[in-house]
Structure formats: structure tokens, C-alpha cells
Amino acid sequence: MTKVAIGVDIGGTNTAIGVVDIDGNVLVKENILTPSHGDIDKYIEELSAAMRELINSVKKLNKNIDILGIGIGAPNANYYTGTIEQAPNLSFKGVVPMIKLLKLQFPELKALAITNDANAAAIGEMIYGGAKGMKNFVVYTLGTGVGSGIVVNGDLVYGHDGFAGECGHTVLVPNGRQCGCGGLGHLEAYCSAPGMKRTAFDLMAKYNDTKSLLAGYSYNDLDSKIIFEAAEQGDKIALEVFELTGNWLGQGLADTAHHLSPEAIFLFGGPTAAGDYIFKPTIESMERNLLATFKNKIKVLPSQLKRGDAAIVGASALVYKELEKQVE
């Protein structure tokens, strides 16, 4: 039998679903709309129908398929309760018992679990990616926001109530930039993709640099990819954006390291495509901020999950982690 797991990534606009084999390969996948109607029962029906269709198409490819379970990554998901709680970007109100509702649809499956996308990325890294065999590591996901998933002694840290790993909302700069959450000076306001854009605009204002390759973009049009391309062409503003972003991120990674003493910290998401432009100043800053006992010990690595499929692959990894726990 070929063992596979279903991974579901619930975003504000789309829900991506994939069937993933034990090596992290996506066999088939599909997208459905995450509805704006707020009717959870209708959504569960649509989601279940899409999953059944995918299962059937996989079984056509290979009759000996064993579906182990469903893993879901979603905003404000609580692993302990199997719920999504007051997610601001989703139309469902209050506390949604996702796992309970899906168990009614798929009673035959052995493992169903939900967590947020950064935690799913961490479990994905552990099951399929660069953290195989590691017992203590952290994943930072850099995107529209900054999330993180923390693994200690081989297990994801959910904390007391299921919401651990919000490193994006630690304070880097007291009374600094306003974060999307309303707080001031949070890491997310500096090290997310929009954070990099904010830094670019700060710097253009500071230097009054009309010749920068970035100077022709509106606030709404500039993004981290454009900044990366400008850096590759030697644009001074773009290069300084990466220096400053790395400087801030390294400070945050050092704080995380001082808490947890991990073997490695993985960086995941759009801005990491810039490679050395972001990794070099990040690592330099982290090392500069570390206590002597921590220096030159902690690896800062790019995620090994494949970019496009990472969210569903990470979510599917939850299934393997659940089955491990059931064996213990």
C-alpha cells in the first residue's frame, strides 16, 4: 500500500488541497474558493467534495492507496481544540469546530489535525524537509506577516492554549512602527515583505533618492520581489533595505535563540528567495547579538520545502506527526 496524507491550506481567498506522499511529493492538488458567505456547513461540504474528488483521482492512478488522514493549516487555528477561533481574514464567525465537522465527513480516517500555517511549515520541515532528525529548531515564515513554529524535544510547542509561536509579534523597536495587530515596533512590521517595502520608503525619504530603481513605484506597487531585483542591479536603497531587514531579523532570531537554544532556524517565504542578500546580514546580526556560549552554533537555513506546494505539504505533515503520537 502507498501511504498518503491530505494537506489543506485555508487562506483568506483560496483553499488549496493536495494529496501528499510520504516523501512530501504532491500527487494531485486543487484549489477551491474560501467562501465569503460565512456558512461553515456549506464550506465543509464543498471542501469534503473536493477532497473526495482528489482521493478518487489518486486511486485511479494507483489502486493501492492508503489515505492516512487530513492535516489543515489555517489562520488562528488551535491544535488542542481542533478549531479556528475568530480569524479576522475568514468569513466564519466565532469558534469553528473544523476537526469535529470533518470527522463526521471522514470517520474512516485515522488522523485529523489542524494548526496555523507557520506551525504546519515547522512540522513539514521536520517530516519532509531540512529539519529531518532535528529535535530542537524553529521556522520563521516571512510573508505578508511573520509567523513561527517552534519545535522542542521533537514536538511542536503549542503552549498552554494552542497559540505559541507568535515570534512575529515580539518587540524589536520600542514604540516603533505600527504592526498590523495594532502593536508598536513588532518584528513583523520590519521583517515581513510589507516591512521591507516600508523600509524602502523610509530610506527614499531619508536620502531623497530620486535615482533609485525603486523611486518610480507607488506604495501600493512596490513589493519585496522588486526590491530584490533592484538589489541585484546594485541599487543602493534596495541593498540597504536588505542590510536593515537582516539586521532586525538577526536581532529577533538571537532573542529566539536565547529562549530556546535551537540547532537551526529555518527561514521560509518570499523574501528568502533573495538568498545571501537576506541571509548574510541576518546571520551577521544574529551572531553579533548572541551570548558567547551561543555563537557559531546555530544554523540559519533556507526552508527545504518546495515553494509553491509548501503550505499543503506542511499541512499534510501534521498527519504523520499525529500518527507518531498515536503509536507512543
- Contact footprint for a copy of itself (CB under 8 A): 76, 85-86, 135-137, 148, 150, 152-153, 155, 157-167, 169-174, 181, 183, 251, 254-256, 258-263, 289, 291-294, 297-298
DSSP 280-307: HHHHHHHHHHS-GGGTTT-EEEE--S-T
In the complex, what is the shortest distance from the CB of residue 49 to a copy of itself, in angstroms, rounded to a whole number? 32
Let me know how many helices (H) and strands (E) the chain has, helices first: 9, 13
Taking the complex as a whole, the smallest distance from the CB of residue 28 to a copy of itself amounts, in Å, to: 35
- Look-up: residue for cell 500500500? 1
Q: Is 275 left (phi over 0), alpha (psi -120 to 50) or beta?
A: left
Residue among 77 and 310 whose Cβ is closer to a copy of itself: 77
Q: Which is nearer to a copy of itself, 100 or 259 (CB)?
A: 259
Q: Tell me the three cell numbers of residue 85.
A: 477561533
Smaller CB distance to a copy of itself: residue 131 or 312? 131
Q: Burial code of 233-271, b = ≥16 C-beta within 10 A, e = fewer?
A: eebbbbbbbbbbbbbbbbbbbbbbbeebebbbbbbbbbb
Per the DSSP assignment, residues forming a β-bridge with 147 are 141
What beta strand segments (E) does the chain contain? 2-10, 14-21, 26-33, 65-73, 77-78, 83-85, 95-96, 111-115, 137-142, 146-152, 155-156, 264-268, 299-302
CB of 1 to a copy of itself, least distance (A): 32
Q: Answer for the pair 8, 16: CB distance below 8 angstroms, yes or no.
A: yes
At 149, the amino acid letter reads G
Residue labelled with grid coordinates 487555528: 77
Q: Quick one: 94 or 234, whose CB is closer to a copy of itself?
A: 94
Closest approach of Cβ 259 to a copy of itself, in Å?
A: 5
Q: What is the distance between the alpha carbons of residues 267 and 286, in angstroms, rounded to a whole number? A: 13
In whole angstroms, the minimum distance from the beta carbon of 123 to a copy of itself comes to: 15
CA–CA dist 296, 217 (Å, integer): 39
Q: Which three cell numbers stand for residue 269?
A: 517565504
**Angle CA 101–105–108, to nearest 5:** 120
Specify the residue, 237 or 254, whose C-beta has the smaller distance to a copy of itself. Answer: 254
Give the residue with the Cβ less far from a copy of itself, 137 or 217: 137
Q: Which is nearer to a copy of itself, 291 or 327 (CB)?
A: 291
Q: How far is the CB of 294 from a copy of itself (least distance, A)?
A: 7
CB of residue 32 to a copy of itself, shortest distance in Å:
27
- Is 119 or 316 the residue whose CB approaches a copy of itself more closely? 119
Q: Supply the minimum distance, in Å, between the C-beta of residue 126 and a copy of itself.
A: 14
